[in-house]
Amino acid sequence: MTEPAEVETTGRFLVLLQEDAIEEGLAELGAIAGFDPNTGELGSDTLQVFPELGVAVVSGDPNLLAELNGAAERPGPVQIVEPERVVHVFDAAPAEEEVEPAADESVLTWGLQAVGADVSTATGKGVKLAVLDTGWEKNHPDFTGRAITTKSFITGEDVQDGHGHGTHCVGTSAGPRKPATAPGYGVAHEAEIFAGKVLSNAGSGSDGGILAGIDWAVANGCAVISMSLGADVPAGTPYSQIYETVAQRAMAKGTLIIAAAGNASQRPARVAPVGHPARCPSIIAVAAIDVNRAIASFSSGTADKIGQIDLAGPGVDVYSSFKLPEKYRRLRGTSMATPHVSGVAVLIAEKTGARGYELWARLASTALRLPLPSTDVGGGLVQAP
């Protein structure tokens, strides 16, 4: 596998504003970009503002970047400017055929057993979990009666999941334990679900959509945000300073962001670096293991000094909900490992009341150490309380 090309961008810019000077920052942006910030509505072509995060997305003339960077270099409310990236679902190529792992899944999936959800008394009740992905299968029979809040951040598409990836991730993190058809597959099966559509039915999106979803989740008091998405990057690529600041600001407000590391490795020949945005230090980067607790061949890892793996979750031949009419599917990827970790984080949040930095510490300190390099699995396999 060749190194990924430079990260694809949209032509728009992300602008980080000083947290206590958002209005002043927007006024400065307006002066530079040539718009009236007082009429810049959320979702307009020129300006999107995410007030919980202190970030704006601006479109305009290509020369705008130089002017914005000039503003960022001076003391003032405009702090950092970055090009907006294109992002995708992180799912590995499907196996040639669906493989049922060598484990007894007559009651619960092997992944739930691996993280100890089968013997935990925690359910996730009372804790809000946001899954930012391709949306949600609104008519899935396994979720009748569940509290599910949805919102689409993709222009021209409602939250209905035309891809399936988002529905699979929602199911793993918070699906039922006793569906009509066994096995049960949800880690935090009584969590309050917030399903945000930040990727299109084709499985792609942009930083602006993801940041809109994060802003929404933080504003709604979600304890955990699960993101099985991103962009592969060449080794040595700096992490996004804007996402890093956003993650810090979200954590300070009680919201922990957990993201897939990526599926770009071809082990043992090549270990690919952790992708964007999981490579940010304040976002938990998740690797995938299989039923034998071996690192998945595709799982991106700590391949440079910038991005590193924090924790691991079950990510091979994972059975969960899917869009109709299929209803269920087995998938593989760090995308499947991430909702396992997010679900466990919700269980710990319910049991301990921990949020933000404390929740991260508890999640990491209770992980099961594995006889594998920390560069592959970080602190180990997450464990339910």
Q: How would you classify the pairing of strands 192-197 and 128-133?
A: parallel
| Measured distance CA(61)–CA(44) in Å, rounded | 16
Give the mean model confidence (pLDDT) for residues 65-81.
78
Q: Are 68 and 80 part of one and the same domain?
A: yes
Q: Residue 57: phi, psi to the nearest 5?
A: -115, 125
Exactly one of 133, 161, 215, 310 is catalytic; name it.
Answer: 133
- 147 SS3 class: coil
Residue 249 lies in a domain: yes
Domain boundary among 31, 54, 85: 85
Please give the share of the chain, as a percent, with pLDDT higher than 90.
Answer: 73
Q: Are 198 and 307 part of one and the same domain?
A: yes
Range of the domain at 116: 89-377
pLDDT in tens, 108-163: 999 999 999 999 999 999 999 999 999 999 999 999 989 899 999 999 999 999 99
Give yes or no: 36 in active site.
Answer: no
pLDDT in tens, 362-385: 999 999 999 999 999 999 999 999
Which run of H or E residues covers position 334?
helix 334-352
Exactly one of 88, 140, 165, 168 is catalytic; name it.
Answer: 165
Count of CB atoms within 10 A of residue 352's CB?
13
Give the mean model confidence (pLDDT) for residues 169-186.
95
Domain boundary among 45, 63, 85: 85
As to burial, measured by CB atoms within 10 angstroms (0-12 exposed, 13-18 middle, 19+ buried), residue 172 is buried
Q: How would you classify the pairing of strands 229-230 and 78-89?
A: antiparallel
Exactly one of 152, 282, 300, 335 is catalytic; name it.
Answer: 335
- 45 pLDDT band, cuts 50/70/90, is low
The reported pTM is 0.94
Count of CB atoms within 10 A of residue 102's CB?
10
Q: Are 167 and 254 part of one and the same domain?
A: yes
| Measured distance CA(335)–CA(310) in Å, rounded | 15
Give yes or no: 189 in active site.
Answer: no
Domain boundary among 60, 85, 110: 85
Q: Which is nearest to 277 in space by CA: 328, 211, 331?
A: 211
pLDDT of residue 2: 44
Give the mean model confidence (pLDDT) for residues 328-357.
97
Give yes or no: 133 in active site.
Answer: yes
Q: Kindly report the CATH number assigned to the domain that includes residue 27.
A: 3.30.70
pLDDT of residue 40: 46
Residue 277 lies in a domain: yes
